[in-house]
Amino acid sequence: MMKQKSKSVDLGTGSVVKLLFSLALPSIIAQVINVLYNVVDRMYIGHIADHGALALTGVGVTMPVIMAISAFSSLVCMGGAPRAAIELGKNKKENAEHIMSNCFVLLIVFGVLLTILVEIFAVPMLNLFGASPSTLPFALDYLRIYALGTIFVQTALGMNAFINTQGYTTYGMTSVLIGAIANIVLDPILIFGFHLGVKGAAIATITSQCLSAVFVLWFLRSNRSYLNIRKRFFKLSIAVIAPCLMLGLSPFVMQITESLLSVCFNSSLLKYGGDTAVGAMAILASVMQFSMLPLQGLTQGSQPIISFNFGAGKYDRIKSTFRILLLVSLIYSTTVWAISMFAPQVLAGLFTNDANLMNYTCWALRIYMAMSLIFGAQIACQQTFIALGNAKTSLFLALLRKVFLLIPLIYLLPALLSDQTFAVFLAEPVADTLAVLTTCILFARYYKKVLSSPKEENAR
């Protein structure tokens, strides 16, 4: 109990600024490192001699499937981890372990099912997602191998959330670092040394995820973790899992619709701009991923503080944490926007040395990232809804930006503008602007209602 008492004092009474950055920094580093799994693959693949541009485009076509696989880990654990933290705030350790153990079993179930589905339907999915006859072989080589490591991906990504939610963000960072270093080392060896091309990149990725998964499970079964995976809680309980899935719906929808968006973008761009436009989109998706994941790392650092203090009824600490979270998020998103606007060649050059693809990507990047400077507010507000256990609003906001705004705009704007390829890329900043405004308005109303009267809330 001494470990949990110490942790409760830290989360409930320690300096909010020091606490947030001590928790957020490892999470941010972990998220940046996590980007390397896919980004480093694309960097190496894009520089394969003779067919680097086509290989990069082919791997880009697989991204909807890869994002969908990650989305299922978020469905289970991005809802389960905040609920476990709230139970810890109430000093109910056994309830928290029951949640964590049930989530682990469900991840394994999803991992098996997803592996089978991807292996069976790989070809029709890739054709639907924008593969052309020239890029399909590369996409298929990568995806069939990647799918074999789905259980490792589910476990490494999903259960890491339960390490971070206890405040052990350094261990959470370590689990990601182990995999990322392995991936960086194995990629050039397998891609170029053994001449395996995209197959080598896929083998490197799933091997690295396996190492991360092993570390995560070791930690959550060891005495270093306050919460442990318990066999007696392996039997799935609807009463335990249902609230986790409801809360996890928002991050799930955010990621699964990202997969759907990738399909919409790729199919539209293949129609209007050909393989070059689809290849540029693969790079744009990597840049957006880089801009999003560090923000998610920051919100993961804030989530234990907000969830714990919400469970403990300490609303002043929630307010202080959110204010810092919002400020830092906006500073970061503005920095990414500035680089995209004024030095796009730096970002594009990381992924390709093909002059035609480089020039096209620089043009597209300025359009696609035009309103990314305000996206920090979207992430800060939406993730705080999740940390406070507000599943309905966070789900609505996830649906709003991508399903209700962005997807229709991808098809509507080309019908209205003469430059149809430009119109497809323009859909992103238009949707971002409308979504951020809506999110900020809803959050301001919720913030005032729930957190403005601590005494009343505590009396309930």
Q: In whole numbers, what is the pLDDT of the chain averaged over residues?
A: 86
Residues in the chain: 460
pLDDT digits (tens, 9 = 90+) for 277-289: 988 998 898 788 7
Phi, then psi, of 223 in degrees rounded to 5: -80, 0
The gap between the terminal CA atoms of the chain, to the nearest Å, is 28
Ranking 94-98, 153-157, 304-308, 340-344 by mean pLDDT, the lowest is 304-308
Report the percentage of the chain scoring pLDDT > 70: 93
Q: Which of 3, 41, 75 is closest to 180 using CA atoms?
A: 41
Q: Residue 44 has what pLDDT?
A: 85
CA 323, 33, 64, 349 torsion-angle sign: positive
Q: Inform me whether the pLDDT recorded for 460 exceeds 60.
A: no
d(CA 451, CA 315): 6
Nearest Cα neighbor of 388 from 295, 312, 292, 293 is: 312
Tell me: the pLDDT tens digits for 182-193? 998 999 999 999
Percentage of the chain with pLDDT > 90? 47
CA atoms within 13 A on the CB side of 8: 17
- The first and second tokens of residue 223, run together, are 């005495």
SS3 category, 234: coil
Q: Are 372 and 432 in contact (CB under 8 A)?
A: yes
Distance CA(386)–CA(304), nearest Å, equals 11
Longest CA–CA separation in the chain, Å: 69
Does residue 5 register a pLDDT over 60?
Answer: no
What contacts 116, CB < 8 A, 6 or more positions away? none
pLDDT of 384 = 87
Please report the pLDDT score of residue 394 as a whole number.
79
Determine the average pLDDT of the residues in 115-121: 96
Q: Hey, CA dihedral for 345, 259, 289, 133, is it positive or negative?
A: negative
Short-list 82, 85, 101, 86, CA closest to 221: 101
For residue 94, how many C-alpha atoms fall within 13 Å in the half-sphere facing its CB? 1
Residue 4: pLDDT band (50, 70, 90) is: very low
C-alpha–C-alpha distance, residues 32 and 77, integer Å: 20
**Whether the predicted pLDDT of 322 surpasses 60:** yes
Instruction: Provide the whole-model pTM.
Output: 0.70
Tokens representing 117 are: 């589905």
The Cα-based distances of 420 to 272, 425, 432 in angstroms read 7, 9, 19
Range of the domain at 209: 2-459
Yes or no: say if 71 and 252 are a contact pair by the CB < 8 Å rule.
yes
Residue with more model confidence, 395 or 125: 125
Residues 35-84 have pLDDT tens digits of: 666 677 777 887 787 788 888 888 888 988 988 898 999 999 989 998 99
- pLDDT tens string 400-434: 888 899 999 999 999 999 999 999 999 999 999 99
User: Number of structural domains, the chain?
Assistant: 1
Residue 252 near residue 68 (C-beta atoms within 8 A): no
What crossing angle do the helices spanning 315-342 and 355-368 adopt, rounded to 10°? 140
At 455 the pLDDT is 44
- Distance, in Å, from the CA atom of 35 to the CA atom of 45, rounded to the nearest integer, reads 15
Nearest 5°: the CA angle 407, 286, 150 is 85
Do 146 and 206 meet the contact criterion of CB atoms below 8 Å apart? Answer: yes
Q: Is the pLDDT of residue 457 over 50?
A: no
Per-residue pLDDT tens over the stretch 360-402: 999 999 999 999 999 899 888 988 888 887 878 877 887 888 8
CA distance 133 to 242: 43
Cα–Cα dist 296/70, whole Å: 14
Please check the confidence at residue 6 and state whether its pLDDT lies above 50: no
Assigned token pair, 134: 């020239």
Structure tokens given for 342? 């004024």
pLDDT at 348: 87
